[in-house]
Amino acid sequence: MKRWKTWVGVAISAAAIWWAVRGVEWTLVGPAMRGARWELLALVFVLAPAINIGVRAVRWRILLWPVRRLPVSSCASATAIGLFANNVLPARIGEFVRAYALARRERVPTGTALGGLFLERMFDGFALVGMLWVLKRLVELPAWADTTVSLAFWIFVGFLAFQVLLVVRPGTVIGSAQWIRKRLFGDRFEEALEGALATFVDGFHLLRRPGLVVVSSMLAVAQWILITLLFWIGMAAFGIAGQAGPEGALFTNSITALGVAAPSSPGFVGTFQALVVKSLEAFDVDRTVAFTYSLGFHAANYLSVTIVGLVAFLRAGLSWREIERSEVEVEREMAEEFEMEIEPTLEPDARG
């Protein structure tokens, strides 16, 4: 809890909760929750792990196909453990836990595993931005949605451009990054920086098969459409599916998915509620109903994915100490892999 990004996440979640509950009529929250259709929330509870863990595991396996043909079960187990870690631990450590859990179970380089996850997230971003781009041409959306779409698009384009530049001119990029790190932080964060650069390099290598890229992109869109369906089922449970419509479910899903990428408390508590309430404002959904929906729908998703992840964690024989130190271990292993792969290609001044 001493890590700065943990406290930043807690502060953001606290501010988000404060904003989300403004104007909520608390006397109506209880009756709205009791009046929800619990059979539909139960359906969300059952489907959430299959979509969030199962489909994501298949996508990860496809991205890692050029390196090793992994069983879906291994990718699913590591994915479940990673999402479980995101739900119970601070600082969004889940991606490191996913890579660590897979590398511990299968003979796959840690950097490659995390590089595949980076690509997965990048495909997620482009899929979400693309769906929002299509949606804003079909229905009228608030002005802030256009800003969000543009900002997110250029962020992901920037990541892709940096990834390509790192592989084309590794000496220049690495030398510049190390120079900036030394000027700002001295000898600190060397392994973290090299680990981050290794993620870009390994991710680019996985892009060398266009067929896999196309399949992965299509699966990313399919996954987010299925998650939109979960949002819509949850809205039906609280009686707002007709008012918001499928377009409201798609908009809420996309904005929420992009927004929770920011630091927050474990399980995105607070930020999820604020983003849902803000998104449903565009469809004139009552704030109290929107907030109640955000609580019930989030709980169904959170509990189901966390339970499945906990089972996978126990079956994998991991310890809490391994989970907590996974980020450090992954950064160290990736720095070693990175030095072995990149050192021969660097210019003499960049090696220093």
pTM confidence score: 0.85
Query: How many Cα neighbours within 13 Å face the side chain of 210?
Result: 0
Q: Provide the pLDDT for residue 352.
A: 41
Q: Return the closest-CA partner of residue 56 out of 257, 267, 263, 311.
A: 257
Q: At what angle do helices 210-237 and 110-135 cross, to 10 degrees?
A: 60
Q: Specify the pLDDT at position 299.
A: 96
Residue showing tokens 């989030």:
298
- Written as six digits, the tokens of 188 are 């600190």
Question: Contact 100/91 with Cβ under 8 angstroms?
Answer: no
The predicted pLDDT at position 175 comes to: 74
Give the pLDDT of the chain (352 residues) as one tens digit per residue. Answer: 446 667 787 888 899 999 999 989 999 999 999 999 999 999 999 999 999 999 999 999 988 887 788 999 999 999 999 999 989 887 678 888 898 899 888 888 777 788 788 888 888 988 999 999 899 888 888 888 888 888 888 888 887 787 677 667 767 777 777 777 777 767 666 666 665 666 566 666 666 777 877 888 899 999 999 999 999 999 999 999 999 999 999 999 999 999 888 777 888 999 999 999 999 999 999 999 999 999 999 999 999 999 999 999 999 988 888 777 776 666 666 556 555 554 444 444 444 4
- Tell me what pLDDT residue 68 has: 81
The alpha carbon torsion through 44, 47, 49, 53 (nearest 10 deg) reads -130
Task: Give the H or E element holding residue 328.
Answer: helix 320-342
